[in-house]
Structure 1
């Protein structure tokens, strides 16, 4: 089992929340941390501990983002005008794999990364296999013709587990998705509490 797959199962219990809102999340049955010391009484976290947890939770939510890439995304958010926390969320939501996940073409963010990596997606008519590719408002993402009948895709589209947010437009027949605008933090349908302001504090300290 890879480190990333393993992390997928442990993150919920580590942060004490159902990060992706999955019905099979281990936190639904075991609301304590992973490992042999997981049931120990938890002490009060320091400010740094809260900031670190917020960063790990937000980074982990988007699946397979490395520490280096996440910090690079944060630095770009800082360079942009406006609120850094809002900019960070906007940049994360404009990733190609995040958009594929939001459109419900796949069941999980981990599947979204693999789906893009394997060349099943086109961006503005061009095959794109880079999960972190930036999608701009008005860009059209489409599932390749040969991939539209994959069981993974058909089951995900029929799932009632997640709702499609208002800032994207999905055509389930053509299997296309267009990002209408860069979302604000309040618009993003996170199933758990995210605190991007604490992430900013983490990197600023």
Structure 2
């Protein structure tokens, strides 16, 4: 198992939740955490612990974004007008790797980032290889012609475990998607409950 695969599954088990709603998640078999102490009785988390957990879960969901990058996104969300938790989710969902994942061009958010990094995606006809690239409403994200027949793409479009949300219009015949609008928290199809309000509390301490 690759380092990325193992860390992904470790996150699931550490949180005790199937964060991405994947059938292969080890949480489906073992709900306790990883390591030799994983089966100990869970102690009640402090307020700080609850907030930290919420941050780790949200950060992990988007491919385990680095702390520096995640803090930068939070700071920007905090500066924007409106509700900071909603702004935070909106900024995360505008990431190119998140949209590639939402459009079901690949099976996982980790694969989406790698797919973008390897130059398989264009935005409005121009190749973009930065997963954190921020898309705007109306942007057209497309799989490059030579990449459309890759097995990873063919398999992902057939996945029944998740649907394309309404803020992304995907055409799997053309392997193109349009980012329709910036979503609200209630629009995002998280398999588990995300609490960006607790993330805001964490950074506001």
TM-score normalised to the size of structure 1?
Answer: 0.98
Contact kept, 8 Å, 1:4 with 1:64, in 2: the verdict is no
Deviation string, structure 1 residues 85-115 (Cα, Å, up to 9, x no partner) = 0000000000000000000000000000000
Where 2:69 maps in the other structure, the secondary structure is helix
Residue deviations 1:5-35, cap 9 Å, x none? Answer: 3320101111111000000101011010110
The alignment partner of 2:202 has SS state of helix
Using structure 2 for the length normalisation, give the TM-score. 0.98
Distance 1:73 1:183 in 2: 16
Give the distance between the partners of 1:48 and 1:6, measured in 2 at CA. Answer: 27
Quote the residue 2:108 is aligned against: 108
Contact 1:51–1:199 (Cα < 8 Å) also in 2: yes
Distance in 2 between the 1:196 and 1:157 partners?
29
User: Which residue of the partner structure matches residue 32 of structure 1?
Assistant: 32
Matched, 1:156 2:156: yes
User: How many angstroms does 1:64 deviate by?
Assistant: 3.8
Q: CA deviation at 1:3?
A: 5.1
Pairing of 1:78-157 with structure 2 (within 5 A) = 78-157=78-157
Q: Provide structure 1 residue ranges, at least 5 long, that are not aligned to the other structure.
A: none
Q: Which residue of 2 aligns with 1:53?
A: 53
Shift, 1:4, TM fit: 3.9
SS of 1:21 mapped into structure 2: coil
Q: Tell me how far apart the structure 2 counterparts of residues 173 and 49 of structure 1 sit (CA, whole Å).
A: 45
Which residue does the alignment assign to 2:201?
201
Q: Aligned partners of 1:200 and 1:37: how far apart in 2? A: 30
Count of residues in correspondence between the two structures: 205
Find the counterpart in structure 2 of residue 43 from structure 1: 43
Moved more, 164-173 or 93-102: 164-173
Deviates most, 1-10 or 47-56: 1-10
Q: Which runs of 5+ in 2 are unaligned?
A: none
Aligned pair 1:17/2:17, yes or no?
Answer: yes
Distance 1:71 1:3, change over 3 A: farther
Q: CA RMSD in A?
A: 1.0
Alignment deviations for residues 123-158 of structure 1 (CA, whole Å, 9 cap, x no partner): 110000000000000000000000001111011001
